[in-house]
Amino acid sequence: MMESTGKLSRKRLAGLAAAMVFLWFVWDTPVVYPIRIFVTFLHEISHGVAGVLTGGSVEKITVEPNGSGLCFVRGGWRIAVLPAGYLGSMLSGCLILILTCRTRLDKIISLVLGGGLILVTLFYVRSFFGFWMGLVLGAALAASGRWLPEDVNDSVLTLIGMASCLYAVFDIRTLFKIGVSVPNDAVMFSREILPLPPAVWAVVWGVAALVCLAAALKVALEEKRT
């Protein structure tokens, strides 16, 4: 039996708000380490997708234990490739949230995400940690979709979707903590494309993430699950 839109909206809104607060306070702790690494994979894959769509090719992807990563793209438009990590993971997170909230496809979504990560890892990931972590995370997600209850998949996907949407916002904190000593996407965009302070680009992408998250939540919460 389907719940009314109002009841579902309140329930979902409370759950998503709790997920947002939870992620904000534990993002730099081991509590959500696997989710942080998975979002890093989404971030780097998004760089690669932008490169391919603009005529380039992906040479390799690396992901490190500290949550950093690189996607080596040959060719493509740098003006599209550089911000695509944040924007792509943000859009992926919005899509995951919408599908999780509005459908009962949670187990299938986990299977697809897990299988997709395994394939990307086998073809493109070339760092030792990233390779094995990609296989482990992909297998864990696929196993969750295959054997664990829908409610478990729902909770995991909610955290992944929210984390992916907020990744750019979390990186603003990192940028202001460590400055430009670590060349993240905002620093590189400032150096290569338009020489505004990296903090400006970080804030622009962070605001874009919040706007897209708000739009995704509006879509996700206004309808019944089907």
Give 10-residue mean pLDDT values along the chain (226 residues). 50 85 92 96 96 97 94 96 92 94 93 98 98 98 96 94 89 62 80 90 87 87 59
Beta-carbon contacts of residue 209 (< 8 Å; ≥ 6 apart): 86, 90, 165, 166, 167, 168, 169
Per-residue confidence (pLDDT) for residue 61, from 0 to 100: 98
In our burial notation (b when 16+ CB lie closer than 10 A, e otherwise), range 121-131 reads beebbebeebb
- pLDDT of 105 reads 94
Q: Which two tokens stand for residue 210?
A: 């919040």
What is the predicted pLDDT for the residue at 15?
Answer: 83
Task: Residue 210: name the closest of 161, 145, 166, 177 by CA.
Answer: 166
Q: Closest by alpha carbon to 42, among 107, 113, 104?
A: 113
Name the phi and psi angles at 70, rounded to 5.
-140, 145
Name the one residue in this structure whose structure tokens are 């990609």: 134
Residue 136 has a pLDDT of: 98
> Which tokens is 71 given?
């996607």
- The pLDDT value recorded for residue 1 is 36
Quote the CA–CA distance of 160 and 170 in Å, as a whole number: 14
pLDDT of the residue at 11: 76
What is the pLDDT, as a whole number, of residue 219? Answer: 85
Measured distance CA(225)–CA(35) in Å, rounded: 25
- The DSSP-derived string for 178-207 is HTTSS--HHHHHHHHT--S-HHHHHHHHHH
- Cβ-contact 223, 102 below 8 angstroms: yes
Residue 82 is encoded by which pair of tokens?
A: 């550089």
